[in-house]
Chain A
């Protein structure tokens, strides 16, 4: 069989020579048979072609012919070709951009040295699990392991930088971090093992974005000293922008974790084996050559058992370290988000294909003469379909090229706009190219095959033409409408988030987060600290009310509980507060009484929770079960979505914070005037309590604005997609109606001559589209509803049934489509019956 293939290829390569031989042979045959008085049968050329068929590869010849023909046809109608390639490029470009983003963030490991041998370790036992490992345990593992050639650790912290109001993000890493991951400096040097020594001068490395934004990319800052958390440290270098680190964070400073207590006053991270004080670190390991994750896990489990003998209280029973790939980007980690973006992009592609399909169908009608001619000189139906489909394929491949280019530009633009990390590379790789070609091929099947089959069949069958056209237009209508509805929903969500009252005061609130746990504070000392801070903040001029809570509004800590209501889960956000909280945040108490110190089983619930949990009753004095505890409702508060501002379904529950919460406590203060000028007095006051560190002070308004901006960005992006889809659909409708008018000029002329009103003519033209558009709209509504569910998982506050969004979308859509249809239809009204009837075209 293999030899046969070689022979075929040999024939293919020398086919000119073999063809000449064949011709010679056939000529001889004919001579001989004429000599003996025979009559030649059939066409010699045809015989030769039949014989050549035996060599295989005829399809290659035909493909070449078809492609040549296709390009000739394209050249002869440059307008159509340009429009088609452009529409396709938009459709393919959208999907390519979405796939590239997915490919870039999810399918590629972080660009560090040898990402495959890097593992991340998490603690696990039958009873507990934790994503972080206590630092001294990491050191123990690093000293004793033989299956790992290097052990890395990192932990994040926010530090105060002298001369800057807002705190800055720092990543503490082991000093082998840069070396092992192959990081390069942009300026100066990176961290080395020498920087870990307790007697070495304290040094930091700048993150590239921070160096650019805060130091104006000035190379002379290397070697200078700055004060971090009040401690002098020397900047020794700037990390290269291409270095991603092992998390999606882009820290302002990289600092040696071995010197953690120098930077963070009172830190016990280096000595605490328990990990109870939020003091774990992320642990990574580099597999030794010849080792495997399983072997490493087994070895570390044995080491953990050994460590448990030394620290029986701190290491769990049966503790082991579970490994997972260490350099997986998981940047956005959100598959649902990609699914949503991907389906939006696919919708654009469907619109583009539907559009092109109807264009091809219309164009096929004008090429009828050419088709008839080709079939008259011997082309079979299947050969014609193949020819027409090849043309579509050629278009699709050009669209592919355009799409790759457009997708790359769009992605690059989006990345610049959203401030994506510089080490993400949007340049298409082989996966993206293969994806683009596959998408191109699929689209050519979708937009090209049905029209090709219809056109090649020649005898125009009205029913199949109408059906094909209906499907193509219906798909367009449904997809663009879906996009419009979804963008409408997002715009509305943005509108709600930006304009409606979130139910709590955010304009005039300052939040002070001392992160006491990180500074080694235990509950008792923390309590004293917080009470002291509370008193001092009360003394600042302009402060009206102060409250302390471990769950500050819009903060990172969210405690959720799921209540089952009639079998349906209801997510409840649990606020741990003091009795001043509601007054400070200006959340109204609608019924009942406030919390009082000491009454720990009393809770206040939001009106939204009460109305859903006890419909028809007021909820007061009811009991509610959170976990194992049974609590009594003593008051009903107004709805205030302060932990999830976008989640309109959010239900809140307020209960007293405990003494054990003090190390995590934040202080929030409401001021009488604008809070923006108060950051520095707050910082000054906070610094007096413990001069060893500076608490993070920020304005609630800033957090709120950044949250609103997130929704705004998605609303803008999706609206853009929706408008593109609408524009493409309108183009399609213009082309289609123009074609319908042109094709029916004679009929219109006759109707007008027989006395039909111009309105009647218009109606008969519109009637063609009516049912298709309606069908598309119905499918669109259902699709939009499903898609909105998907988006809702990522962006709270998106309602799936917002009548205004649906209504707005339909009005905009019908208006645009109507306008697009009327414009070419005008020509039908200006048809002169005499001219139309004389028209000899058919």
Chain B
């Protein structure tokens, strides 16, 4: 599944969700999503970084520079309080939408 197939809001939701586990850098976020989706979802740089910049501006995450496992300087993203709230809201929204779609798929 490619980035074009991923709904725009969904990527933000996934990023926020994986960040809830603790601060990560961009590449690690992409990796986490990839592994957690059992290799179904691949997040490209072209969509990951614009999304990260967007949620930085929104104030849902904060960024700080640290050192990666390979010893390079890299930016780590950490979910903020408004981000947690946003995650909750988006997750429940997604849940409702998903249930509605499932209902139609099964009944129709």
Inter-subunit contact B57/A51 (CB<8 Å): no
Shortest beta-carbon distance, A8 to chain B, in Å?
6
Chain A neighbourhood of B52, CB < 8 A: 51
Inter-subunit contact B57/A55 (CB<8 Å): yes
Inter-subunit contact A29/B58 (CB<8 Å): no
Chain B neighbourhood of A28, CB < 8 A: 25-27, 68, 72, 74
Q: How far is the CA of A51 from the CA of B48 in the complex (A)?
A: 9
Inter-subunit contact B50/A54 (CB<8 Å): yes
Which one of A3, A32, A50 contacts B50 once the chains associate, using CB atoms below 8 Å?
A: A50
Q: Which of A19-27, A315-323, A431-439 faces chain B?
A: A19-27
Q: A789 on the interface (CB 8 Å rule)?
A: no
Q: A566 on the interface (CB 8 Å rule)?
A: no
Q: How many A-B residue pairs have CB under 8 A?
A: 70
Inter-subunit contact A46/B59 (CB<8 Å): no
Inter-subunit contact B59/A3 (CB<8 Å): yes
Residue of B nearest to A30 (CB): B45
Docked complex: B49-84 residues within 8 A CB-CB of A: 49-54, 56-59, 68, 70, 72-75
* A4 in contact with B45 given A25-B26, A25-B74, A33-B27 (CB within 8 Å): no
Q: B30 on the interface (CB 8 Å rule)?
A: yes
Q: A53 on the interface (CB 8 Å rule)?
A: yes
Docked complex: A14-52 residues within 8 A CB-CB of B: 21-22, 24-26, 28-33, 41-42, 44, 46-48, 50-52
Residue of B nearest to A21 (CB): B75
Inter-subunit contact B46/A50 (CB<8 Å): yes
Shortest beta-carbon distance, B64 to chain A, in Å?
11
Interface string of A671-685 (1 = CB under 8 A from B): 000000000000000
Residue of A nearest to B65 (CB): A21
Q: B93 on the interface (CB 8 Å rule)?
A: no
* A47 in contact with B46 given A4-B57, A25-B26 (CB within 8 Å): yes
Chain B neighbourhood of A31, CB < 8 A: 72
Interface string of A617-653 (1 = CB under 8 A from B): 0000000000000000000000000000000000000
Q: B44 on the interface (CB 8 Å rule)?
A: yes
Inter-subunit contact A50/B59 (CB<8 Å): no
Shortest beta-carbon distance, A567 to chain B, in Å?
69
Chain A neighbourhood of B70, CB < 8 A: 32
Instruction: Select the residue from B46, B56, B58 with max chain A CB neighbours within 10 A.
Output: B46
Q: A7 on the interface (CB 8 Å rule)?
A: yes
Inter-subunit contact A46/B68 (CB<8 Å): no
* A42 in contact with B44 given A4-B59, A8-B57 (CB within 8 Å): yes
Inter-subunit contact A11/B57 (CB<8 Å): yes
Shortest beta-carbon distance, B107 to chain A, in Å?
39
Chain B neighbourhood of A52, CB < 8 A: 53
Chain B neighbourhood of A41, CB < 8 A: 44-46
Inter-subunit contact A42/B59 (CB<8 Å): no
Q: How far is the CA of A52 from the CA of B56 in the complex (A)?
A: 11
Which one of B27, B45, B74 contacts A42 once the chains associate, using CB atoms below 8 Å?
A: B45
* A51 in contact with B27 given A4-B59, A21-B75, A42-B45 (CB within 8 Å): no
Inter-subunit contact A22/B49 (CB<8 Å): yes
B interface list, Cβ under 8 A from A? 25-27, 30, 44-46, 48-54, 56-59, 68, 70, 72-75
List the 6 closest pairs (A to B, CB-CB), nearest first: A54-B53, A51-B49, A54-B54, A32-B27, A51-B50, A29-B27
**14 new A-B contacts at CB < 8 Å, known A3-B59, A29-B27, A32-B70:** A8-B57, A25-B26, A25-B74, A28-B72, A30-B45, A33-B27, A41-B45, A42-B45, A47-B46, A50-B50, A52-B53, A53-B50, A54-B54, A54-B56
User: What are 17 A-B pairs at a CB distance below 8 A?
Assistant: A7-B59, A21-B75, A22-B49, A25-B26, A25-B75, A28-B27, A28-B74, A29-B26, A42-B46, A44-B45, A47-B45, A47-B50, A50-B49, A51-B53, A53-B50, A54-B53, A54-B56
